[in-house]
């Protein structure tokens, strides 16, 4: 049965699936949605989770995610330069070795 820990583990996959169902770019961040789209997203997300079978929910989730990413992300027109990459810190940090 799908639970809170499963949600946290698969939140990115769920987001891709729901963005696809909303006809949004699949890598759209939830934070970038309008208030109305956030309400729609949450409704669709709940419907999707409740529609998952209790026993094989993970297989269904993975199949849906893989199908979407293969068709809409990793295809012939894939251009990684168009993907949004969050700012990555390149600051050097020195870690002391405990003795």
Note the pLDDT tens digit of each residue in 50-61. 999 988 899 999
Residue where the block lists tokens 């759209």: 28
Q: What is the pLDDT of residue 31?
A: 92
**Residue 78 counted as domain residue:** no
**Residue 1 counted as domain residue:** no
Query: In this structure, are residues 47 and 22 in contact, taking their beta carbons and an 8 Å threshold?
Result: no
**Residue 32 counted as domain residue:** yes
From first to last of the 99 residues of the chain, give the pLDDT tens digit: 788 898 999 999 999 999 999 999 888 899 999 999 999 999 999 999 999 998 889 999 999 999 998 888 777 777 767 666 666 667 777 777 775
The angle formed by the CA atoms of residues 58, 59 and 62, to the nearest 5 degrees, is 85
**Residue 21 counted as domain residue:** yes
**Residue 16 counted as domain residue:** yes
**Residue 2 counted as domain residue:** no
Q: What is the pLDDT of residue 13?
A: 94
The number of distinct structural domains making up the chain is 1
Range of 31's domain? 10-53
Query: From CA 19, how far away is CA 28, in angstroms rounded?
Result: 7
**Residue 20 counted as domain residue:** yes
- String of b and e for 59-70 (b: at least 16 CB within 10 Å)? eebeebbeebbe
Query: From CA 4, how far away is CA 11, in angstroms rounded?
Result: 10
pTM, 2 dp = 0.74
The pair of three-digit structure tokens given for residue 48, joined into one six-digit string: 């999707």
**Residue 19 counted as domain residue:** yes
């Amino acid at each position: 049965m799908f639970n809170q820990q499963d949600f946290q583990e698969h939140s990115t996959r769920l987001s891709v699936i729901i963005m696809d169902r909303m006809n949004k770019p699949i890598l759209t961040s939830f934070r970038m949605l309008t208030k109305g789209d956030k309400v729609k997203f949450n409704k669709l997300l709940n419907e999707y989770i409740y529609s998952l079978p209790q026993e094989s929910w993970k297989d269904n989730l993975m199949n849906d995610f893989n199908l979407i990413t293969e068709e809409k992300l990793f295809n012939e027109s894939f251009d990684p330069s168009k993907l949004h990459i969050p700012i990555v810190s390149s600051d050097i940090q020195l870690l002391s070795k405990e003795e």
